């Protein structure tokens, strides 16, 4: 499945109106180089406190996007390229407009994509 289509499908039924930020959580799926990407939305955002991403008001839950990469650093680079392309080409759903976007491995550092 295409990454942009996965995002659009994930939010097509709507997200809460109080969303301040979105975070793409990465998880190592298995030792075969597959990583799950889960989308969450949060009503809060604090650039200095990454725990904002634990305050979920929306999540894709088990509906994850799978990427393949040779190690976690490669997975971060792959995901960074994927989300960077969508942001630069304005291909994200309208609900992302004006929101903060971050990504990172759960229990790891968060990387801010855009602050509007």
pLDDT score, position 6: 96
d(C-alpha 103, C-alpha 113), whole Å: 8
pLDDT tens digits, one per residue of 13-48? 999 999 999 999 999 987 788 999 999 999 999 989
pLDDT at 115: 52
Length of the chain in terms of residues written: 116
**Residue 97 domain boundaries:** 3-114
User: pLDDT band at 107, cuts 50/70/90?
Assistant: confident
pLDDT of 114 reads 63
Give tens-digit pLDDT for 56-96: 999 999 999 999 999 999 999 999 999 998 988 888 999 99
Number of separate domains in the chain = 1
Separation of alpha carbons 102 and 62, rounded Å: 19
Around Cβ 109, how many Cβ atoms within 10 Å?
10
């Amino acid at each position: 499945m295409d990454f942009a289509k996965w995002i659009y499908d994930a939010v097509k039924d709507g997200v809460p109106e109080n969303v301040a930020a979105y975070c793409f959580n990465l998880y190592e799926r298995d030792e075969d180089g597959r990583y799950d990407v889960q989308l969450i939305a949060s009503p809060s955002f604090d650039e200095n406190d990454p725990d904002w991403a634990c305050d979920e008001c929306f999540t894709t839950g088990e509906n994850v996007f799978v990427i393949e990469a040779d190690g976690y650093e490669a997975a971060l680079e792959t995901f960074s390229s994927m989300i960077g392309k969508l942001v630069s080409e304005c291909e994200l759903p309208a609900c992302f407009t004006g929101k903060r976007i971050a990504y990172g491995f759960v229990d790891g550092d968060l990387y801010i994509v855009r602050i509007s």
